[in-house]
Structure 1
Amino acid sequence: MKSALMLRPLLPAIAAFALAGCATMPAATADGTVAAASTAPTASLQDIVAAVDIPFETFTLDNGLQVVVHTDRKSPLVGVTTYYRVGSKSEPRGRTGFAHLFEHLMFGGSENVENFDVPLEAAGSTGTNGSTWYDRTNYVEVVPTGALDLALMMESDRMGYLLGAVSQEKLDNQRMVVQNEKRQGDNQPYGLTEYVMAEGLLPVGHPYRHSTIGSMADLQAASLADVQTWFRDNYGPNNVVLALTGDIDAATARPMVERWFGAIPRGPDVVVQEAGPVTLTAPVNRTITDQVPQTRITRAWTGPGMEHPDAVPLQVGMYILGGLASSRLDNAMVRGEELATSVSASAQQFEQLSQLEATVNVKDGVEQAAALALLEGEIARMLAAGPTQDEINRAVTQIAAAQISGLQSVGNFGGKGMTLAEGLLYTGDAGFYRTELNRMAALTPAEVRGAMQRWLGRPAFTLTVEPGERTLDGGALGGWGDEDTMPAPAADTGAQVEVTRTGPERAYPEVAPVGELTFPAVEHATLANGIEVYLARRTVVPQVSLAMSFAAGSIVDPIGRAGVHQTMIDLLSEGTTTRSAEEIAIEEESLGVSLNAGAGAERSVVSMTALTANLAPSLELMADVVRNPAFNPDDVARVRQQRVAGIAQQLANPGSLAARAFSTVVYGENNPYAYAASGGDADVVANLDAAALEAEHDRWIRPDLATITVVGDVTMPELVAALNATFGDWRAPATPAPVNTVTAGSPEPAARLVVVNRPNSPSSFLTIGRLVPFSGWQQGMETVDLANEVMGGGFLSRLNQDLRETRGWTYGIGSGIPAAQGQRVLRVATQVQADRTADSIRVILDQMAAFPSARPLDAGELQRVTEGNVRNLPNRYETNGQVLAAILTNQLLGRDLRYDATLPSLYGAIDAAAINRAAAQYLQPEDLVVVVVGDRSVIDPQLETLDMDIEYLEASEL
């Protein structure tokens, strides 16, 4: 991020979760079999909610800084989360986007800190990050305990002593970065919807009306004098909440906070503005055209602020309407009359109002009027009769269960620090999450119905986005709203403004050593039918993350048949021989389980995250999905249409277009890897039938191609017992197991410049790379990975520092060599402002050529990617999901399952010479494929200066 927006979660992250009196797993007998199938009761909603707790202490400094501390000793990490009570709703006319622009400036260094990322990442922090939204600006990082003093010094320095380091050059640069962030968002399909929705719902001048990212004219008008005034008016400690969560306690934290923040003087209190919901005098309908593949209809209202008695019932009611997998709109419009390919509904909650939305992507060939009528009918039915108690219970169970993953994260976005900080900032109560959760658990159908009637019974704004030419200019949108009658603000002239030091000189505190990485042991067992099971036991939360992976992925599709395997995998959860798709969804929601199926290039995975207490019934559901899909013709027809719509969405998205074109050119048209991430061929998918999909399932989804990997709060005997009860009697067919080996070769690397025309694009999407001469994993790959990290693997990489931080031509750029069993590929990807397309390509190639010949690795880079990475390892394995992903990658690449535990010694043995050699061998700019997706009327004259032959592809060819 270091970006514009951050939605407030439907329910804040929940912490310290324990279930009393819940069922245990079935006991295994001496031979590993199960005495009886699971009949254990599941955890009740009351059990779940009653045990939720995030213990905290608070204190306030004399200057008004509020501090909340939560202790969690599971890892030697501390989340540092800083919330400022200033967001875009505080901006005056003519200066929209300023709060977010200032967020960027606050990463650019303070009077005693030249760069916030360099010392923190060297100390082992996650990359510093931040976001801006209507109500606040926040900054987050998670640091090793021994680096907390450093993090506090740096956060206090930008809070108290920033202005002496903010120059006109930094302002100009970050202004360009933010404008490119705006272009990148606007360039997406439906990318202008947010602006139009705000115009339709709120009057000119309402604090929530203009977008957080603002208008181009206002961004261009921001001056250095504005910056100084904005800082002095809004960033005093009395407008701040600081959350410290993790390996820290209040007694230890208080003197540290007082040392670094105590001398910062109070500032003016942020002015609280009238910014409540608005009731339209009559329904409003608007239609726009855009470069989109499907008609999208959104019906919206403004709603109450977060402390209003109706806020929680509306959140749950909208979730029942269109958030659950078994939602009213899904059942009526996607599965029922099949007028839509997807639907959603939500209550986006802000401090002083909420935005209530229901959205429908209309199926091709369906009359808009019919889709709108059904949408209106379902809303009317909800208002008339309300939900059932069962729907409420399922919604609250799913919401709470989905948040349990957040219990594992002490900081960063979505972690416990954000939960506590937002509650304290917005309501004065860091424990407000409990108020919301208790309110949810006590809801009745009458309460939800009443709230829905009061707010959705008012006149609505309905926006229809139809396929066609984009006629709106995103650059002119997002501002105050009176731009058609008022002159644009004058652009910043760069007038000289005095920039002087405002605070004392302060040195960095020392960083304490970190302990050895603790990566969980991985146990191994075998089920009765031979399926191998791997378990990394972690008891931080009563939750289990499980992945059943099959040695088959999208590369098993024959050339000309791309999309068959992925479509089959999609259908696994769309109905079994005993359960309909709706019944599967209802059971998931009742159990609080998240069940997903997806096909990667080389592996297909059915994954599940379940409460430990509900593991047995959750596995029963998963086993039915894996083993007994029905491939009912009606379900097949529905999923076919959804996948075809998804492919159309890909072809409308600049990044997806670039990825499809790049893979085809790099791998060649006769290699299945060329289509592995494409989503498939729309014509192939549209003509699939149940018989073909059933045959695909029988061929590849079989126990002798399966491996089960589990991370979480369960013992191996309990796990094996539950798995044997659900999968142990699943026998492989008599036919030999197929192999997903790719024998087709790829073309020799050769320089090519390929252009895909996408008219009216304010940005160009670049994908640059080539195949590298190795497959899977081999000794020494760590050195290549570190060389790539220096080049383009993070915020501090050379490419990002040059293209974003120095030139301001992009919002971000990255490079990588993704893990794969087959031949791997070097890929650089970025979205750049359209008028800098060719210049950006030159910069990328020049940076690659300079490493190491003209610019070898320096000492700071070496320390960051070796010692800094070692210090950062506890951050990488904080959650069950992170550990599971690491083990699955190790399985894919054939590494030891605890390979990650060896990284400290591996990184410690790598020197600058080795990284330089890796860069010289693998990261040079020769024989690169360059794919550009952009507006040819803008980019063609530029690309002609590159002295490369240009090839053209149409989106319809991809």
Structure 2
Amino acid sequence: MKKSQLSASLAVLALLLAGAPLAAAAEKPAGTASAEGGAIADTVAAIDIPYEQFTLDNGLTVLVHTDRKAPIVGVTTYYRVGSKHEPKGKTGFAHLFEHLMFGGSENVPNFDEPLEAAGSTPTNGSTWLDRTNYVETVPTGALDLALFMESDRMGHLLGAVTQEKLDQQRGVVQNEKRQGDNQPYAIVEYETQDALFPVGHPYRHSTIGSMDDLNSASLDDVKKWFTDNYGPNNAVLVLAGDIDAATAKPKVERWFGDIPAGPPIASVEAPVPTLDKPFAKTITDQVAATRLYRNWAVPGLNDPSYPALATGMSILGGLASSRLDNLLVRKEQLAVAVTAYLLPFEHASMVQSYIDVKPGVDVAEAEVRFDAILADFIAKGPTQAELERAVASLVSAQVGQLEQVGGFNGKGATLAEGLVFSGNPEKYKQDLAALTALTPAAVQAAMQRWLTRPVAAIRVDPGERTEGGENRGGWERAGTPRIGYFRAGGVDEAALSVASEAPEATAKRSFPPVDPVGSFDFPAIERAALANGIPVYFARRTAVPKVTVTLGFDAGFAADAPDARGTQSFMAAMLEEGTKSRNAIAIAEEQERLGASINVSAGLDATTVSLDTLTSNLKPSLALMADIVRAPAFAPREVERVRAQRLAGIAQEENNPMVLAMRALPPLLYGRGHPYGAPLTGTGSRDVVARLTPADLAAAHAASFRPDKARIIVVGDVDKAVVVAALDWAFGRWVPPASSPAQKDWRVAIPAPRQRIVLIDRPGAPQSVIAAGQVLAETGKDRNELLQASNEILGNGFLSRLNMNLRETKGWSYGVRSTIQETEGPMPHIVRAPVQSDRTGDAIAEMLREMREYPATRGATAVEVNRIKEGNIRGLPNRFETRAQIAGGIDDIVRFGRPDDYFETLPATYRALNAATLNAAAAKELQPDRLIIVVVGDAKTVKPQLAKLGLPIEEVAAPQE
């Protein structure tokens, strides 16, 4: 970026902020606003997660919430340690140790095997600046197992941490870093933290750390990290679901009570820094569009200004009707994408806004306008209507998250984060109450207080990457000059680590039994039909006061003609961009006012309109949905605007290595003339998108969006009669057009498979992406349970052979996955593997070997068979906890012609699995001889490796702008 351009842009910002007047209009709290169904404050008042709390003698704090909707329990463990506690030279330790804590303990050789066999979903963990957490949701009868395992890694870990495991997980983490760094714009995270926080600030370095620090981590280092930080007194355990405190307390005492307390976590000073002057930097990267960032450090999540800042950023660039969307994307068309958000942390949060400049637009013009809009919003604050829509949207999203008992965003995590960060499990109530009490003046005041300080502006231009991530992520980069920062004094490195003695070894512990599970009950499916014959499938679910409505059409981007790839997706994208009675802004604003979310998407086999709304606002939400579905305008000006966005989106896909591979693979597998021969993103080709007219889109709509091709699925807290009447009012009088419906031509022959490697050059890539695929004979209408189960052994799951080999044994990849997508036509089997560049050839060789050996020389083992059988049976309740999951299950039943009790018969199907049948499925369908292997990577590095494999190699140039 030229200095003069930046100076002019920032001058506009300063000028508009100087002497900014306060809002003079009469205001009222946002929660008093009433949509058709009533005030948002009424919804907030009803949100409650009742809990009981107790503390063990060793300091472990336990919260218990009872929710009997399903026989499952969410187990959520938070440790008060994150990357902010890492001293110089030890960056990445918290995250590295998260990985090590999955690698087995003194009494548990592997954490995933028993939990998967017990039906746990998900079994996962994460690390960020302030905390490390672990989550699993298990059948009620497996709760003792989950507690045994969580307690074993808390109190019985160090004896199992070996140099081999450290080296193994170090490699996994480094490949996770490479995978992240290989994404477009990924380097900006390092640039942002470098710019906002001074050297030594706990939030300055990235959570994944630097390669140098990861390489230098010794066994003694990581053991000391554990003893310093992972004591029970530094943890919070939440049990949420089919459990109560009276039952939970003796169980927790049994498993955790004998673990000695550790040293307390040292307090961390992490003040909110203020730049002495504006910071500006321009970098180049393998991206499709120039992106302009504006960043500030702001107070943490316990500061009184936090709700106002978060809401303000949502109004600025988070809502569909945000200021930046309405002005820069819709009206002035200077950008193709915008966003603004707050990243909340305990001590200091970060706010970020960015825009992707529309190709062909003068970047300086877009930048000046971007900063002018920011300045105007900061100076004047939001309108009352903007605030009310933002609050309604945020409250509705929070209600939806509380449908789950576990996971990273459910009730357990909500209670845990309140206690860990704020000392109050009910912090969510304070935050929601603060939201509903906000006024425009309060948001304005917070924005003026914190966003009038010097900004950190980062610009990313298309080009060769300025600098990769291999030297980034640590405390400091040698030789890098620093501009002035606020400093709160020196950082006491000794305070970040407290010496302690490792706990003494304890007696061997045994696995507790897992209780048998009862019969599985899928929600009853009730049927109805609208006046025009549209079938309705309904299931009642009362966990939260919300309703999900899915209107599906037999179309999808497989219905695009071979010379019109991208039509269906483009048409679907236009539906929310204006109807005959509402423009795009009005559509976005009405959704937000209602606390509703309407999404239109073109999948492979179906095009779907989904509505998620508060029960109280069902009828007005359906009215809006019907207008979007039945009366799109396809206004020429809006078509041109969305066309530019979609062309920019295709260019972005082509700069994302994995997405590029998934664009390239389907035409190779199915042939370009087959319905499935389109890029799996559905966005199609540049040429088609560039020439489609409003009339073309209207014709595609008439062929696809019609009542004779539709079905409706409803799941939620509503009576069947009420919802059917409302649907009949919205859609019952809709008649099909006279034109022919969309068709998929399954007669097109699929090319005979020819095993080969297709190499797409991505110069300088720190990692290669491997995407290998083949076409199977089966379709989704077949009984595929056996084939899917066999694929779980091969590659679909953490414990699968491919993942355990390339990730856990070799350490060459962050994760490998083999999937079989159930489709109406012949199903694709695809293996995805991002791997470090210098191991690309070796990784492919290992993939091919694993596939050949299963089952030829290494058939399904008894452990694998038991894990697949028991895990799938016990995990069924977890698969259908939410409205969206239930709606998806009903869709599978309807789309593939399965009986209503299909999911209830699955336990018997899984119990019948055995090694012989699993081996036979693998021998028939999962062999590598038909694989077409796409590799996206640095050709000069990987081509010599690929040559050693003895397979034909075809080089394909990467798409160019």
Q: Residue 33 of structure 2 contacts residue 388 of structure 2 at CA under 8 Å; is this kept in 1?
A: no
Deviation at 1:471, TM superposition (A): 2.2
Residues in 1 aligned to 2:740 and 2:675: alpha-carbon distance in whole angstroms: 22
- Aligned runs of 1:894-909 on 2, under 5 Å? 894-909=897-912
Which one of the candidate residues 793, 805, 820 is aligned to 1:790? 793
Amino acid at match of 1:169: E
Deviation at 1:649, TM superposition (A): 0.7
Which one of the candidate residues 515, 518, 532 is aligned to 2:535? 532
Deviation at 1:684, TM superposition (A): 1.4
Q: Residue 551 of structure 1 contacts residue 740 of structure 1 at CA under 8 Å; is this kept in 2?
A: no
Amino acid at match of 2:161: V
Residues in 2 aligned to 1:353 and 1:499: alpha-carbon distance in whole angstroms: 33
Which one of the candidate residues 557, 561, 564 is aligned to 2:560? 557
User: Would the alpha carbon gap of residues 957 and 92 (structure 1) be closer, same or farther in structure 2, given more than 3 Å must change?
Assistant: closer
Q: Which residue of 1 aligns with 2:813?
A: 810
Residues in 1 aligned to 2:679 and 2:193: alpha-carbon distance in whole angstroms: 39
Residues in 2 aligned to 1:174 and 1:677: alpha-carbon distance in whole angstroms: 32
Q: Which residue of 2 aligns with 1:886?
A: 889
Amino acid at match of 1:658: A
1:66 paired to 2:61:
yes
- Aligned runs of 1:121-160 on 2, under 5 Å? 121-160=116-155
Amino acid at match of 2:842: D
Deviation at 1:405, TM superposition (A): 2.2
Which one of the candidate residues 553, 570, 579 is aligned to 2:573? 570
Q: Which residue of 2 aligns with 1:917?
A: 920
Q: Residue 806 of structure 2 contacts residue 812 of structure 2 at CA under 8 Å; is this kept in 1?
A: yes
Matched residue of 1:671: which SS? coil
Q: Which residue of 2 aligns with 1:370?
A: 365
Question: Deviation digits for residues 906-941 of structure 1, max 9, x if unmatched?
Answer: 111222211111011111111211110000011011
Amino acid at match of 1:721: A
Amino acid at match of 1:287: T
Q: Residue 702 of structure 2 contacts residue 741 of structure 2 at CA under 8 Å; is this kept in 1?
A: no
Q: Residue 768 of structure 1 contacts residue 928 of structure 1 at CA under 8 Å; is this kept in 2?
A: yes
Q: Which residue of 2 aligns with 1:31?
A: none
Which one of the candidate residues 224, 231, 238 is aligned to 1:243? 238
Q: Which residue of 2 aligns with 1:337?
A: 332
Residues in 2 aligned to 1:255 and 1:416: alpha-carbon distance in whole angstroms: 22
Task: Calculate the TM-score normalised by the size of structure 1.
Answer: 0.93
- Aligned runs of 1:201-280 on 2, under 5 Å? 201-280=196-275
Q: Residue 780 of structure 2 contacts residue 823 of structure 2 at CA under 8 Å; is this kept in 1?
A: yes
Residues in 2 aligned to 1:107 and 1:804: alpha-carbon distance in whole angstroms: 13
Q: Which residue of 2 aligns with 1:733?
A: 737
1:749 paired to 2:773:
no
User: Would the alpha carbon gap of residues 256 and 776 (structure 1) be closer, same or farther in structure 2, given more than 3 Å must change?
Assistant: closer
User: Would the alpha carbon gap of residues 299 and 957 (structure 1) be closer, same or farther in structure 2, given more than 3 Å must change?
Assistant: closer
User: Would the alpha carbon gap of residues 833 and 500 (structure 1) be closer, same or farther in structure 2, given more than 3 Å must change?
Assistant: farther
Q: Which residue of 1 aligns with 2:428?
A: 433
Q: Which residue of 2 aligns with 1:714?
A: 718
Amino acid at match of 1:734: A
Q: Which residue of 1 aligns with 2:319?
A: 324
Q: Residue 130 of structure 1 contacts residue 139 of structure 1 at CA under 8 Å; is this kept in 2?
A: yes
Residues in 2 aligned to 1:524 and 1:957: alpha-carbon distance in whole angstroms: 51
Q: Residue 231 of structure 2 contacts residue 263 of structure 2 at CA under 8 Å; is this kept in 1?
A: yes
Residues in 2 aligned to 1:902 and 1:729: alpha-carbon distance in whole angstroms: 38
Which one of the candidate residues 669, 683, 687 is aligned to 1:666? 669
User: Would the alpha carbon gap of residues 445 and 22 (structure 1) be closer, same or farther in structure 2, given more than 3 Å must change?
Assistant: closer
RMSD (Å) for aligned C-alpha atoms: 1.7
Matched residue of 1:815: which SS? strand
Q: Which residue of 1 aligns with 2:17?
A: none
Q: Residue 612 of structure 1 contacts residue 713 of structure 1 at CA under 8 Å; is this kept in 2?
A: yes
Residues in 2 aligned to 1:868 and 1:185: alpha-carbon distance in whole angstroms: 31
Q: Residue 98 of structure 2 contacts residue 132 of structure 2 at CA under 8 Å; is this kept in 1?
A: yes
- Aligned runs of 1:324-403 on 2, under 5 Å? 324-403=319-398
Task: Calculate the TM-score normalised by the size of structure 2.
Answer: 0.93
Residues in 2 aligned to 1:787 and 1:483: alpha-carbon distance in whole angstroms: 51
Matched residue of 1:607: which SS? strand
Residues in 2 aligned to 1:585 and 1:557: alpha-carbon distance in whole angstroms: 28
Matched residue of 2:563: which SS? coil
1:163 paired to 2:166:
no
Q: Which residue of 1 aligns with 2:608?
A: 605
Amino acid at match of 1:605: T
- Structure 1's unaligned 5+ residue stretches are 1-20, 24-39, 487-497
Matched residue of 1:342: which SS? strand
Deviation at 1:603, TM superposition (A): 0.7
Q: Which residue of 2 aligns with 1:37?
A: none
Residues in 1 aligned to 2:539 and 2:913: alpha-carbon distance in whole angstroms: 29
Q: Which residue of 2 aligns with 1:542?
A: 545
- Aligned runs of 1:605-644 on 2, under 5 Å? 605-644=608-647
Question: Deviation digits for residues 876-899 of structure 1, max 9, x if unmatched?
Answer: 011111111122223332323442
Which one of the candidate residues 677, 684, 698 is aligned to 1:680? 684
- Aligned runs of 1:495-534 on 2, under 5 Å? 502-534=505-537
1:311 paired to 2:306:
yes
Question: Deviation digits for residues 420-442 of structure 1, max 9, x if unmatched?
Answer: 00110111100001011100100
Residues in 2 aligned to 1:957 and 1:210: alpha-carbon distance in whole angstroms: 35
How many aligned positions are there?
910
Deviation at 1:271, TM superposition (A): 1.0
- Structure 2's unaligned 5+ residue stretches are 1-31, 482-500
Q: Which residue of 2 aligns with 1:293?
A: 288
Residues in 2 aligned to 1:897 and 1:452: alpha-carbon distance in whole angstroms: 53
Residues in 2 aligned to 1:540 and 1:860: alpha-carbon distance in whole angstroms: 36
Q: Residue 300 of structure 1 contacts residue 357 of structure 1 at CA under 8 Å; is this kept in 2?
A: yes
Q: Which residue of 1 aligns with 2:930?
A: 927
Matched residue of 1:360: which SS? strand
Q: Which residue of 1 aligns with 2:25?
A: none
Deviation at 1:709, TM superposition (A): 1.0
Work out the percentage of aligned pairs sharing the same amino acid: 54
Matched residue of 2:818: which SS? strand
Residues in 1 aligned to 2:743 and 2:283: alpha-carbon distance in whole angstroms: 50
Q: Residue 33 of structure 2 contacts residue 40 of structure 2 at CA under 8 Å; is this kept in 1?
A: no
Amino acid at match of 1:750: R
Q: Which residue of 1 aligns with 2:802?
A: 799
Q: Which residue of 2 aligns with 1:954?
A: 957
Q: Residue 663 of structure 2 contacts residue 679 of structure 2 at CA under 8 Å; is this kept in 1?
A: no
Question: Deviation digits for residues 808-859 of structure 1, max 9, x if unmatched?
Answer: 0000001011010111111100100000000000111111111112111111
Residues in 2 aligned to 1:504 and 1:91: alpha-carbon distance in whole angstroms: 32
Amino acid at match of 2:666: S
Q: Which residue of 1 aligns with 2:490?
A: none
Residues in 1 aligned to 2:748 and 2:778: alpha-carbon distance in whole angstroms: 16
Question: Deviation digits for residues 719-776 of structure 1, max 9, x if unmatched?
Answer: 1100111111111123454433332111011111110001111110001121111223
Q: Residue 204 of structure 1 contacts residue 482 of structure 1 at CA under 8 Å; is this kept in 2?
A: no
Question: Deviation digits for residues 190-214 of structure 1, max 9, x if unmatched?
Answer: 1111001111111111100000001
Which one of the candidate residues 704, 710, 716 is aligned to 2:708? 704
Amino acid at match of 1:799: L
User: Would the alpha carbon gap of residues 763 and 849 (structure 1) be closer, same or farther in structure 2, given more than 3 Å must change?
Assistant: same
Amino acid at match of 1:327: S
Deviation at 1:22, TM superposition (A): 14
Matched residue of 1:810: which SS? coil
Which one of the candidate residues 106, 120, 129 is aligned to 1:111? 106
Matched residue of 1:643: which SS? helix
Which one of the candidate residues 406, 412, 420 is aligned to 1:417? 412
Q: Residue 664 of structure 2 contacts residue 679 of structure 2 at CA under 8 Å; is this kept in 1?
A: no
